[in-house]
Amino acid sequence: MTTSTDTSPLVGAPAPNPHANQFSLLGQRRFAPFFWTQFAGAANDNLFKFAFTVMVTYQLQLGWMPPAMAGLVIGALFILPFLLFSATAGQLTDKYDKTKMIRFVKNLEIAIMLLAAWGFMRADAVLLLGCVFLMGLHSTLFGPVKFAYLPQVLDARELTGGNGMVEMGTFVAILLGQVAGGLLVALPGIGHSTVAVACLLLALVGRGVAQAIPPAPATDPGLAINWNPLGETWRNLRLAHGNLVVFRSLLGISWMWFFGAVFLSQFPSFAKEVLHGNEQVASLLLVVFS
């Protein structure tokens, strides 16, 4: 993923108040629509994934995917696009207007959730696994935009607070999305259809809010995209390795997400096989861990 050193706010953006705290950004158009767009996206990712994991663990009998492996398979399939396409997504973020990229990604999310809704209604695990990969691709495209947008619209004094707000929002959305997914899919008789509707509504809400994000022009419109994802990923890793602080930060962040993902993916299986509890027990474990 390429980066830009341009940290100046957008033309026409209000001058920052050095005495205001970061929560004041939620009242400003340059930040608030973006914040709620990424909040809805993170919530939808996790509602969908956790509902599907609980469904496979408790409700479906799949000979080719044992319940104990469901969380790991779903988590790995979601992460795979990050490994393959993150560097390419970073180039696209630099080359094109970030607001247009965000809206394109949210349009993609609606299409994926329409497909996932059909999968939930039919209890089609193969189709839903395909949607897991596509949602991972959707998140891969959104990730670089999320971090490149803020330096372009926030003053240097606001950037740390703005990043903190986005990270806080992401983790709150992860928690709420996973809890909602586990509880909704367990509703007797209507669980699958309720999850389908909830996922689609969240995608539509995110797209609607994204329409209010102000333009964020491309930082490198002349960039030639390297369409070889493996080569570009290797080039980025070598670049990061040249800066020890950056490289160690990458390792630390990767370990944190890996450690958390392993726990989260195993809660449904642990609740069922070890604690002999129902779907609500899995959701309770999730709340305590988060």
Vertex 152: Cα angle to 148 and 154 (nearest 5) = 110
| Burial (CB count within 10 angstroms: exposed 0-12, middle 13-18, buried 19+), residue 195 | buried
**Residue 33 carries which side chain, given as an amino acid letter?**
P
Residue 204's Cβ-side half-sphere holds a number of Cα atoms within 13 Å equal to 7
pTM: 0.82
Helix 125-153 crosses helix 32-54 at what angle (to 10 degrees)? Answer: 160
Which pLDDT belongs to residue 115? 96
Full pLDDT tens readout for the chain, 290 residues: 444 444 445 544 555 555 567 888 898 999 999 999 999 999 999 999 989 988 988 888 777 778 778 888 888 899 899 888 988 999 999 999 999 999 999 999 999 999 999 999 998 999 999 999 999 999 999 989 988 999 999 988 899 899 999 999 998 998 899 889 989 998 998 999 999 999 999 999 999 999 999 999 988 888 888 888 888 888 888 888 888 898 899 889 888 888 877 777 788 888 888 888 888 888 888 778 77
**Residue whose token pair is 């699958």:** 192
For the record, the structure tokens of 96 come out as 């094109």
Distance CA 172, CA 38 (A): 11
Kindly list the distances between the CA atom of residue 74 and the CA atoms of 57, 171, 269, in Å, as whole numbers in the listed order: 11, 19, 13
For the record, the structure tokens of 136 come out as 């991972």
For the record, the structure tokens of 180 come out as 């909602």
Nearest C-alpha neighbor of 127 from the set 113, 107, 138: 113
Distance CA 34, CA 28 (A): 10
Domains in the chain, please, with CATH? 29-289 (1.20.1250.20)
Q: Are 74 and 129 in contact (CB under 8 A)?
A: yes
